[in-house]
Each structure stands twice: as structure tokens, then as C-alpha cells.
Structure 1
Amino acid sequence: MAIGRQDWIARWTNIGDHHCLLGESNIKNGAVDEATEAWLCALTAFEVARRLVDEDDTRSADLSDRVVMGIQRLKSSLVRQIEQVKIAPCDESELLAYYLPAGDADAPAPAIICISMENETGATLLGRLLPVVIGRGMSVLVISHDDIPHQSRGQSEALLSCCLEYLSVRPDVDAARIGVFGEGLSAALATDLAASDRSVAAAVCDGGLWNWTRTRASISWITRAVDGAVERDATSARRAQLKCPALVVTGGRGIVSLSEAIRLQADCIAAGADLDLAVPRIIRSPGAEIENFVTSDDSIFGWLEHKLSSASGIGKVDQIITGDLAPRA
């Protein structure tokens, strides 16, 4: 690891620690809004540092602990409290999730099921998303990819359907405006949920590309060739999966390549489906490529906010968006 990168890790960690102290000072002085802002800045700084360290670096766990502590500090300043809730599927096992409400019984709000990347905790994803979602008027239910059973698509869909049902019966959630957001392999889980349940109003997902690629590879292995009929059937299957507006994030830490996503979008346009693409900005440094998650997340949740804002806000947009082309409303 380059010395310069080591310096950046220390610098961003120190920035996060400084904002934590600033938040504590503000809360003691009764400046609640300023404390909230400082703690949100700390969470972003810790996430930057976390992405700079290697997964097997001991500092990765230390930074994750700092994120958890930052979430705990925010509980003293947020008007609507972060809750740890239990989702109880039919098999009586329990899934622990984080929930941040944005509405109430008199004014139910849209809600997003947010599924972390593989090997990423729900707390880590929540810490990254809090600076993005607070103030947008959308509730979020955050779960970890690793807590979802993966023995079969049916099991994962059943558990995510329980999350959908949990939100739909909450009085502070508008059941007609529930979306799903998945990162990494969880983008495929988000597609499966949106494809299996028409009550999902918007999805940030892989558009079915992960399962389509695996199916195509299996067919190729069995037949040693993919003829035109099989290719047409696979393409039709991709289109059929998208029952709601979808945003496919390409490149970065995701599982979808830009070329695949562009072909998928062309298929969807031809079929009259509503699909947009987002291309995160990548910062290249010696020995590493770092996704600018701040602009990417703002773009993604700006898209969700637009799609879930009202029935009239769900329209067809045939374009590719980048981190700075979806301004926050």
C-alpha cells in the first residue's frame, strides 16, 4: 500500500473523530441541528477511510466500530429515532434490521428496503446512507446481505417479501410507495423481489442481468452453443422481469458492466419498460479505484425520491445518469 494512501486513511479517520467531538460539544450546548450535521459528516469520513483500507486490515473493523458508535450518537439528536426491528418470516426465524422512519400515521411516507453488499453489515450501510436519506421524506429499512438465506431464490424472495409486508402494515408507511435498493449481489435480490411482487413501486437493481448471465452460461455449457432461439428467449425473460421503474447501477463495486446495461436498456426501451442507468464516478489512485459513493448515493436516492414522490412522478426516462446529473430535490 502506498505511503500516500496510508496518509489519506489517517487523515479521513481524524476528520471523522474531529466531527464526533464537534457533535458532542454541540449537543452539550443545545445545538441539536449542528450536532446532527457534525455526526453525519463523521459517518461519511469514516466510510471514506473504510474504503481505503484492505478488507483484512485491522483498521477496517475499527472503522466499522466507529460507524456503529456514530449511529448511537445520532439517536440523541434525531427527531425520528433509528429503531432496531425484528422481521419474523413464516419459518419463525428472525431477521434484525435497522429502521429509520420519515412519516407518521397522519402523513405516511414512502419507504425503501435497503440490502447491503455481501460481507457488509447493515450498520455499515446505514451509516453510509444516513447523510443521504435524512431530509428526503423517505423511510428506510436496512438489512445485511449476509442475513438473507441463499440456498434458493425462493427463500430469499420469501424473506424479502416479509420485509415488504412489515413495511406495508406500518401506519407511517405509504404501502403504495415502497421501493427496494440492492448493492453488489444484493442487486440481483432486489430484481427478484421486484419481479415477484407487483407492489414494489421502484427498484435499484441489476435488471435481471446476474441471473440471466448464469442461465446463459449454464445453457452454453450444456449445449456447447447458444443458438438464436435461446438468445431470444433469454432476452424476453430479461424484459419480463421488470414490472416497475428500475435503475441499474453499472461499474464501480457493482456486478453489472456498462456494456451489458446499455444492451439491457435498449431491450427495455423496445419493450416499453422504464429503466434508467447510473454510472458512478470512479476516483483512480495508485493501486486502487475508489467509487465516489457520495455523489452516487445522492443520485440513486434522488431517483428513488422522484419515482416514489407520486403516481405522476413515475414516468419513462430514457437516459444514462451519472453522479452529478440527478440533483437532490
Structure 2
Amino acid sequence: MGRQNWAATWTTTGDAYYRLADLNIGKGVFDVATDAWLCALTAFEVARRLVADDNRDSADVSAKVEAGVQRFALALGHKVESLQITCGDQIELSAYCLPAGTPHLCGPAVICVSSEEENRATLLGRLLPVVIGRGMSVLVVSHEDIANQSRGESEILLSHCLDHLSARPDVDSNRIAVYGDGLSAALATDFAAYDSRVAAAVCDAGIWNWTRTRGSIGWMTSTQDDADKDVVAACRSRLARQLNCPILVVAGGRGIVSVSEAIKLQADCMAASVDLDLAVPQIIQGAPGGEVDNFVTSDDNIFRWLEKKLTRAAAA
């Protein structure tokens, strides 16, 4: 009940910021209105994380976020493009694209794949406060649309997304990254290994598949893993070494990567001269109903890392 009360408080806060944004749009104070709108989207994301997924309030909050993304684009001139990307003869992939706002200047771009718990509108609503003003475009797609394909198809779909961005006059084709949230971190790893054009990847670096494989072998053989440490390290970092770009692994929180496994992988990659960084989200302890990860600081850290790596790619 305490968690529900906090969710209601944050929803009310988001509604208040929406009204403030509308008020300032009427006055023509668009910068203040933009700030208020972004605060509203953040408040709704906090509320969404506090309510259970099967709760009716969760759907209501998600609807507010989706409506807010569209209203934000229409009222404040930040053009959120709703796209249908053709991927072969019979497949079209729905996506949102937020251009950097500099049509005459080629800037970096990031393909963002939502977690299994989110759709593309929800992820874009969460990321808008982070990406506005960074000078990078984002293309946002849903985990469900990418993951629900036959083996190997997810990489092809994401390659078509990269093709779309590469063809845009406002995107530098040499500075396109991928960011996979939640289970999509594993999809981002497979894509970065498949397509050498990826300039940076926020992904799981193969930990998800490594953990599943190791667990399956242990279950089938009913033996402890006493393999040579060097062999284990080589297997653990095998997929990461196939990625020809800088890697950021987000461990802990709502992600699929455990902190202990990520630390082991980072040590292995350092020994193999693989450019891999580790980020651990701040967890807010003692929150109503359990711990909550601080997505605001986590998203900011991720995009600061992307900004740094894609800037270096421009200089290379």
C-alpha cells in the first residue's frame, strides 16, 4: 500500500508538471515549458516503476507517457518521427526517431532497444530528458519487435535500423552505437558482433549466453566446473572479443547481468586488451515495497559514456 501511495504521489506530480508546461506554452516561454515537460516524463517513469506490472495504474501511467511523448513533439517543436523501417519483402519495423536537431551537421546516433518490460514509447519517454541537448539522434525500437524473430533475424532487423540512420544527412554513419536495455542487452551484443559498423555498444558482452551455457552444462553433467581458470576466462570473454568497438556493461539493478559476473568479465577483457567498461546503477534502499534503481543517474551515465566514445570515434 505504501508503494501504491508513492506511485500516486509521483503521478500527481507528473500531472502538475504537465499543467505547468501547458501554461508556459501559452505564455510563449518554451524553454521553461520544455523543462516542465521533461520533469513530467521523469515523474511518470518513477510512478510506473513503483506500481506492479499487472496493476491497472501501470497501464494508466504508461498511457500518460505515450501521450506525453506525442504532445511534447507537437507543442515544442522537437520532431519525434514515427517510422516504419522496411526490413525485407514482408517485414516492417516500427520505430521512433528523435533527430539531434542539427540537420546541416552530421552527428552521432544511438539505436535504443527497450527492455522486455517496456515498449518503444515508454523508453523514449524515459530517455528524452537525457538525450535532449546532447547533439545525438536516437532511434528507439521495442524489444518485442526485435526478439520475437527466428534465430539471426534480430541482427538483420537492427542492421536495417543502422542502414536507415546511415542514410540520414544529419547522422554520421561512422558514429552509430547500440544500447540494449534489460534482456535487450544480449540482443545488442549479438548485433554488435554481427555488424562491424557499430561504433559503441551498451550490452551484456555475452554474459547472458555464457551464464546459460555454463548452467546447462552443469545441470546435464551434474559436475562442478573445475576447468582451468585460463580456459574459463577465454570462454567468458569470447563474445566480447568479437565486438570491434568499445563496450559498456550495465550490471545490477533491473538488468540481466550480475555484478560479480561483470567484474570477472571486465578483468578478463583487461587482460585481453578489450575496451570494456562497467557501470553499476545506484540502488535506492528502503524504498516503499523494496529497492528501486536510480534510472535517472544510470541513464545519464550511459549517455555520457556514449557521448565520450562517439566523440573519440569522430577523431579517429
Alpha-carbon separation, structure 1, partners of 2:97 and 2:246:
24
Alpha-carbon separation, structure 2, partners of 1:42 and 1:141:
22
Aligned residues of 1:43 and 1:128 also touching (Cα < 8 A): yes
Alpha-carbon separation, structure 2, partners of 1:239 and 1:82:
33
Q: Deviations over 1:145-169 (max 9, x none)?
A: 0111434440111111111111111
Aligned residue number for residue 124 of structure 1: 122
Q: Deviations over 1:1-35 (max 9, x none)?
A: 33xx2321121111100111111111111111111
Alpha-carbon separation, structure 2, partners of 1:267 and 1:156:
28
Q: TM-score, normalised by structure 1?
A: 0.90
Aligned residue number for residue 76 of structure 1: 74
Aligned residue number for residue 327 of structure 1: none
Which amino acid is 1:305 matched to? Answer: E
1:295 correspondence with 2:297 = yes
SS of corresponding position for 2:238: helix
Q: Deviations over 1:214-263 (max 9, x none)?
A: 22233334444446266355235234233210111111000001100000
**More moved, 241-250 vs 138-147:** 241-250
Aligned residue number for residue 264 of structure 2: 263
Aligned residues of 1:39 and 1:73 also touching (Cα < 8 A): no
**More moved, 146-155 vs 185-194:** 146-155
Aligned residue number for residue 154 of structure 1: 152
SS of corresponding position for 2:239: helix
**More moved, 84-93 vs 39-48:** 84-93
Alpha-carbon separation, structure 2, partners of 1:265 and 1:152:
31
Aligned residue number for residue 101 of structure 1: 99
Aligned residue number for residue 175 of structure 2: 177
Aligned residue number for residue 306 of structure 1: 308
Number of residues of Structure 1 aligned to a counterpart in Structure 2:
312
Give ranges in structure 1 of 5+ residues lacking alignment: 315-329
- Cα offset, 1:209, TM superposition: 0.3
SS of corresponding position for 2:84: strand
Which amino acid is 2:248 matched to? Answer: L
Give ranges in structure 2 of 5+ residues lacking alignment: none
Residues 241 and 212 (structure 1), Cα distance of their counterparts in 2 relative to 1, 3 Å cut: farther
Aligned residue number for residue 228 of structure 1: 227
Aligned residue number for residue 251 of structure 2: 250
Identity, % of aligned positions: 62
**What is the RMSD computed on CA atoms of the aligned residues?**
1.8
Alignment of 1:29-108 (within 5 A): 29-108=27-106
Alpha-carbon separation, structure 2, partners of 1:124 and 1:216:
34
- Cα offset, 1:211, TM superposition: 1.2
